[in-house]
Structure 1
Amino acid sequence: MLPKRSDFPDDFVFGAATSAYQIEGHRAGGAGPTHWDSFAATPGNVAHAEDGARACDHYHRWPQDLDLLAGAGFDVYRFSTSWARVMPEGRGAVNAEGLDFYDRLVDGMLERGLKPALTLYHWELPAALADLGGWRNRDSADWFADYTQVVAARLGDRIWSAAPINEPWCVGWMGHFLGLHAPGLRDIRATARAMHHVLLAHGRAIQAMRAAGLGNLGAVCNFEYALPADDTAAAARAAARHDACFNQFFVSALFRGEYPAEALEGLARHLPQGWQDDFTTIQAPLDWLGVNYYTCKRIAPAPGPWPALTERPGPLPKTATGWEICPEGLHHFLTRIARDYTGALPLYITENGMAAPDVLHAGTVTDTDRIAYFRAHLAQSLRAIAEGVPLRGYMAWSLLDNYEWALGYEKRFGLVHVDFETLQRTPKASYHAWAQALKG
């Protein structure tokens, strides 16, 4: 069993999260091509060369999916709009069919008593903008602000909360340094510029939404507990570099108006000219911060240029993606962020969940390992609340099994099983555990 709703503060909200490209079916409804379509069409980038063309067909099946959310008793649906669905070329012409879809979706949430929690960008950059350099191009901040204005004008009167960009580390570092996500680059100069421009775009989007009259605006960053792989000073230094680039870079910019020194050691000379002058925009005031947390990593030094580190396997139980299950890391970040960056600003856990080797048998999926994962992380959430952390909500990742980016459709994170041949939805044991917990 999971902790009950009554174990949490009266105003605490529970939800589930998805993202547009992962569930909608991108070939439907006049959406334009994205850099993820290009990335997936390049051999070797994605498991089985799979893409989001059909995904879960949420574009047509959204009423059923919203019924599942409401049926479990969730309060919030964290969803995203697709830039390329709203503006197929990323600039200029607006796709009325795409905006109409999100209009219906938001109205459908409200009809079911769900709070719409909007994310404006969950990684599907329009291909036409990728051709212009994408996030490496400073103009991306202006393009994104224009897109934000279009969405805010159409949906802003009904949105409960909004955040510009999901997990800027993944957008900047994973896509431009590690090459594991679109656009698939391995270029430190591109990385530094993309990371900075993503933050600038965030600030411009917050300004645009404030000007449009929206409130309850936040940022969503991902965090990964960085542990030294051994007791050596070299491992401790490597873990500190990883922590600076992964966990500190974005929150330090948002709340302190600076980048951490350990990150600047490698990135400073590659940042765009005049980058220090952008912090006024980047620090546009926020109403909350979203924390996405999944795992820890064991970091060791490695030969080669900065950041000169590598990952080593750890001893804890692991998910189907090989990620260690480390609930204490969630408590670490909730307390650390509140202490060092945000103070009394409300925090929300905006993603937390695990991939499991789910098997549909006789119409059921008995995912007891996922229930145990949620139980442990909810317990750490309660621990943080008891210690005074202003945690206001928890959103599970994910409502549905979906297109898990470079992992394709193999890794299942959902509370609801999706048969990717028939698209049949089957609530798992974890879904029913949530439904029971949210009653009490």
Structure 2
Amino acid sequence: MRFPPGFRFGMATSAYQIEGAFDVGGKAPSIWDTFTALPGTVRHGEDGRVAIDHYHRYAEDVEHIAAAGVRDYRFSISWTRALADPGFYDRLVDALLAAGVRPVPTLYHWDLPQDLEDQGGWLNRDTAYRLADYAGVVVRRLGDRVRDWITMNEMNVQTLYGYALTDHAPARGLGLEALPVAHHQLLAHGLAVQALRAGDAGAVGIANQHFPVYPASDDPADAFAAELFRGLTNWTFSDPILLGDYPDEMIRAGVGTSGAQLDRDLELIAAPLDFYGVNFYEPTAIEAPRAGKDYSGVLEVDIPEGLPFSPVPVKSDERTDFGWAIVPGALTEILVALRDRYPGLPPVIVTENGASFHDAAPDPSGRVRDPRRIAYLDAHLRAVEAAIDSGVRVDGFYVWSAFDNFEWAAGYDERFGLVHVDRETLARTRKDSWYWYRDLIAAHHTSGG
């Protein structure tokens, strides 16, 4: 594989999934603390109160990250921890810089303070302004050392899983009435960009999830259903940022803001970015709903009846142990589609890509063999290379994830990490994929990259 000089190999994590120390330093609860305390919300009743205890083990974890030779480490800042116990992020950033790793923090990765949810959460326009206030606090604290920032993570997942459905926090179950959540998160992004620029933040971007959506057949009804789903899950969250408007009048009318106020919001949301983050895992196939057909279990979450689209399994020769289709070419396809849809697309960084395989514990020699993860990452990096060869400017690739961690409603069964974490002792063990990634990065640098 060949990548451009300066290509940014990295790893990624998020605060709630790894930090633990849920109430240390006066940290207030987030919506995920509340959600995981409810019976039946998370597989095996698990939660992130301890997670992998990164809060106390960050120095060891930085060693694992840096020893792989990665240039960037993308992590998220817990909103409630940053306000109550900001010293943790000082220590983490300083440790990364001392190890030669560039910190790339994400301001918001789904862990909304519970007190803001009690006031309406992302249905409340004021939450966007509170995130901007928080962004200002963080950039004043860390901006002298952190020069790369991500505002929001996967707004489509927060909107769909947490507000339209009940699979993630805060489990509102609003269906299409959740569209204002999308707009308020986009507004929060725009306001955060403004706050970060005011704090001389350096490079600013966002991490949006994108994936191809295929119609299940040539039936025009399936094509219409797929186009509707594609607009709701992809373009609703990128068109306002990169084109300054929503993809169609139905969505524009459903976001709960209109007229001159909407125009002013969209102008703010469309402020120029220095890079555009793309999270990719798998494509989706959609058909118009067939009466009496059972669509449960196709996706990680079930889309309820009564909506004009239903998922069907994507054709794939192989799947991850999470059941996700492995289709590396779909990553090339979505990167090219973004380039074609947005003539002014900023440089792209693949801010998340990885796979869950139920890796065995270290063998007697201390080795964790995960050849399927190596094959997965190899194929997806080659898909990035193909996109670059097609004229897409891709400046980096971050593996999800640096460590096995708390996989939201799926608990701890799903292992995405390059570093194995024992659930009982929390001992870290580098997997074969960690060594493979290290050697790939070293070869890139040796060749002049």
TM-score normalised by L of structure 2 = 0.91
Aligned mate of 1:12, from 7, 16, 21: 7
**Are 1:82 and 2:78 matched, yes or no?**
yes
Q: What whole-Å deviation, never above 9, does each CA across 1:315-338 have from its counterpart, x for those lacking one?
A: 311111111011111111111112
Assess if the C-alpha contact under 8 Å between 2:404 and 2:419 holds in 1. yes
State the identity %: 43
TM-score normalised by L of structure 1 = 0.93
Instruction: Give me the whole-angstrom Cα distance separating, in 2, the residues matched to 1:307 and 1:209.
Output: 38
Shift of 1:306: 6.7
Q: Match for 2:311: what amino acid? A: E
Aligned mate of 2:374, from 371, 375, 382: 371
Moved more, 193-202 or 297-306: 297-306
Instruction: Give me the whole-angstrom Cα distance separating, in 1, the residues matched to 2:415 and 2:254.
Output: 40
Match of 1:332 in 2: 333
1:9 aligned counterpart, secondary structure: coil
Assess if the C-alpha contact under 8 Å between 1:356 and 1:370 holds in 2. yes
Structure 2 runs not aligned, ≥5 long: 292-303, 444-449
Aligned mate of 2:182, from 166, 187, 195: 195
Shift of 1:12: 0.6
Match of 1:265 in 2: 250
Aligned mate of 1:58, from 42, 54, 57: 54
Assess if the C-alpha contact under 8 Å between 1:355 and 1:411 holds in 2. yes
Assess if the C-alpha contact under 8 Å between 2:239 and 2:246 holds in 1. yes
Instruction: Give me the whole-angstrom Cα distance separating, in 2, the residues matched to 1:384 and 1:224.
Output: 14
Match of 1:436 in 2: 439
Match of 1:91 in 2: none
Aligned mate of 1:43, from 30, 39, 42: 39
Assess if the C-alpha contact under 8 Å between 1:76 and 1:114 holds in 2. yes
Report matched runs for 1:149-188 at 5 Å. 149-188=136-175
Match of 1:23 in 2: 18
Instruction: Give me the whole-angstrom Cα distance separating, in 2, the residues matched to 1:344 and 1:423.
Output: 41
Shift of 1:160: 3.0
Match of 1:346 in 2: 347
Structure 1 runs not aligned, ≥5 long: 88-94
**Are 1:284 and 2:271 matched, yes or no?**
yes
Q: Match for 1:432: what amino acid? A: Y
**Are 1:403 and 2:406 matched, yes or no?**
yes
Instruction: Give me the whole-angstrom Cα distance separating, in 1, the residues matched to 2:405 and 2:177.
Output: 29
Instruction: Give me the whole-angstrom Cα distance separating, in 1, the residues matched to 2:387 and 2:19.
Output: 35
Report matched runs for 1:276-315 at 5 Å. 276-302=263-289, 307-315=307-315
2:106 aligned counterpart, secondary structure: strand
Assess if the C-alpha contact under 8 Å between 1:28 and 1:59 holds in 2. no
Match of 1:322 in 2: 323
Instruction: Give me the whole-angstrom Cα distance separating, in 2, the residues matched to 1:342 and 1:16.
Output: 28
Instruction: Give me the whole-angstrom Cα distance separating, in 1, the residues matched to 2:271 and 2:345.
Output: 17
Match of 1:412 in 2: 415
Match of 1:92 in 2: none
Shift of 1:190: 4.6
1:220 aligned counterpart, secondary structure: strand
Assess if the C-alpha contact under 8 Å between 1:255 and 1:283 holds in 2. yes
1:24–1:207 CA distance, 2 compared to 1 (3 A): same
Instruction: Give me the whole-angstrom Cα distance separating, in 1, the residues matched to 2:145 and 2:308.
Output: 47
Assess if the C-alpha contact under 8 Å between 1:189 and 1:271 holds in 2. no
1:29 aligned counterpart, secondary structure: helix
Shift of 1:384: 1.1
Moved more, 183-192 or 235-244: 183-192
1:438 aligned counterpart, secondary structure: helix
Instruction: Give me the whole-angstrom Cα distance separating, in 2, the residues matched to 1:50 and 1:275.
Output: 41
